[in-house]
Amino acid sequence: MATGEALLQLPFTVNKGEVAIMLEFVQQLVNGLSLGAIYALIALGYTMVYGIIMLINFAHGDIMMVGAFVGFYSITLLGTNIVMAMIFAMIACAVLGVVIEKVAYRPLRGSTRIAALITAIGMSLFLEYMTIFLLGPQQKVFPHSAFPLKEYNAMGLLITNKDIFIIVSAVVLMIILQYIIKMTKTGKAMRAVSVDREAAVLMGISVDKTISITFAIGSALAAAAGVMVGVYYNTINPLMGIIPGLKAFVAAVLGGIGIVPGAMVGGFVMGILETFVSGYGSSLYRDAVAFGVLILILLIKPTGLFGKDTGEKV
């Protein structure tokens, strides 16, 4: 009765059923945030690479997968903790991204976009089936010992240490990324190259080096996301990059491809949307949502939420 009276003093009336509905809503939001953080990190790589060389790097989701495997082996074979596993995965994938750009995409610079796109799809398949060939097609269980689950109950909301880990590390990485892009000379060079490559060369900026750095950063972010996916779903497998890769791609398009803050927002929107659809609708529609969103953006605003005709690319 006492709580009921307290509630009645609010400027609007709320009954117990409505409280439960709101709580459920906020709970879905929390769940969506960690998934969204993962999509946002992957989307950043798509958008940065597109911003600088106008290529949809279809192998990007698979780089995320490789990151998950590096993280997995770092924990199981080297016995590192989750943070070190993430750092190893990021370093390994930064190198992988640079190598892929150098051997597969650089020779095609200046040729048609369709040629580069087909190469990217080929690279995607190569990474997937090379991983199957080397490590087998079976899924691997991310060791629980690396991340003992803890659940917290805050005002009726269930929050796990996984959620906290994913959201906090994603936010830290995004802040570091923003710092690099906005404040450092390298970041400014990345923006200059994406705005006007020829003018950037006239400044003495090496376009090749700048593109390599962009691939390194984008791939490292994907690797971090890969380790997060391992933590989030517990299992990893060689084809795990495909669906999150596609969803993150949609997130990048939603935010406006080539626009960094757009990818962040797009990622969170996609993550939250997905959990709401599986929470209130059916998890059967979970994956269909992404494609529905893609079709809607392409119909309504192909430049995305943040897209302007003269928008900054990186």
Partner 1 sequence: MLQVKEIDVYYGAIHALKKLSLEVEQGKIVTLIGANGAGKTTTLKTISGLLRPVSGTITYKGVDLTKVLPEKIVALGISQVPEGRRVFAPMTVMENLEMGAYLRKDKKEVQQDMELVFERFPRLKERRRQLAGTLSGGEQQMLAIGRALMARPELMLMDEPSMGLAPLLVREIFQIIKDINSRGTTILLVEQNAHMALSIAHKAYVVETGAIVLEGSPEQLMKSEEVKKAYLGG
* Min separation Cβ 217 and partner 1, Å: 19
- Are 197 and 179 in contact by the 8 Å Cβ rule? The answer is no
Q: Which is nearer to partner 1, 106 or 162 (CB)?
A: 106
Pairing of strands 157-160, 235-236: unpaired
| 11 is a site residue for partner 1 (CB under 8 A) | no
Binding track, positions 27-46, relative to partner 1; x by CB under 8 A? --------------------
Name the 3-class secondary structure at 136.
coil
* Min separation Cβ 60 and partner 1, Å: 24
Q: Which is nearer to partner 1, 179 or 291 (CB)?
A: 179
Q: Which is nearer to partner 1, 33 or 190 (CB)?
A: 190
Pairing of strands 140-141, 151-154: unpaired
Looking at the DSSP bridge assignments, the partners of residue 160 are: 151
Q: Which is nearer to partner 1, 145 or 310 (CB)?
A: 310
Q: Which is nearer to partner 1, 205 or 222 (CB)?
A: 205
DSSP code per residue over 236-301: E-TTTTHHHHHHHHHHHHHH-TT-HHHHHHHHHHHHHHHHHHHHHS-GGGHHHHHHHHHHHHHHH-
* Min separation Cβ 57 and partner 1, Å: 22
Binding track, positions 206-245, relative to partner 1; x by CB under 8 A? xx--------------------------------------
Neighbours of 286 (CB within 10 A): 17
Name the helix (H) or strand (E) containing 18.
helix 16-53
* Min separation Cβ 213 and partner 1, Å: 14
* Min separation Cβ 121 and partner 1, Å: 29
* Min separation Cβ 208 and partner 1, Å: 9
Task: Kindly report the length of the chain.
Answer: 314
Give backbone dihedrals phi and psi of 140, rounded to 5 degrees, phi first. Answer: -115, 145
* Min separation Cβ 211 and partner 1, Å: 13
Q: Which is nearer to partner 1, 130 or 199 (CB)?
A: 199
Pairing of strands 151-154, 157-160: antiparallel
Sites for partner 1 among residues 277-306 (CB under 8 A): none
Contacting residues for 31 by C-beta, under 8 A, at least 6 apart = 163, 275, 279
- How far is it, in rounded angstroms, from Cα 144 to Cα 195? 45
Sites for partner 1 among residues 184-213 (CB under 8 A): 185, 188-189, 191-192, 195-196, 198-207
Q: Which is nearer to partner 1, 92 or 205 (CB)?
A: 205
Sites for partner 1 among residues 166-185 (CB under 8 A): 185
CA angle (215 as vertex; 213, 174 as ends), nearest 5:
85
Q: Which is nearer to partner 1, 1 or 202 (CB)?
A: 202
- How far is it, in rounded angstroms, from Cα 270 to Cα 9? 37
Q: Which is nearer to partner 1, 5 or 309 (CB)?
A: 309
The structure tokens listed for 229 are 């996916």
Which residues bind to partner 1, rule: CB under 8 A? 185, 188-189, 191-192, 195-196, 198-207, 310-313
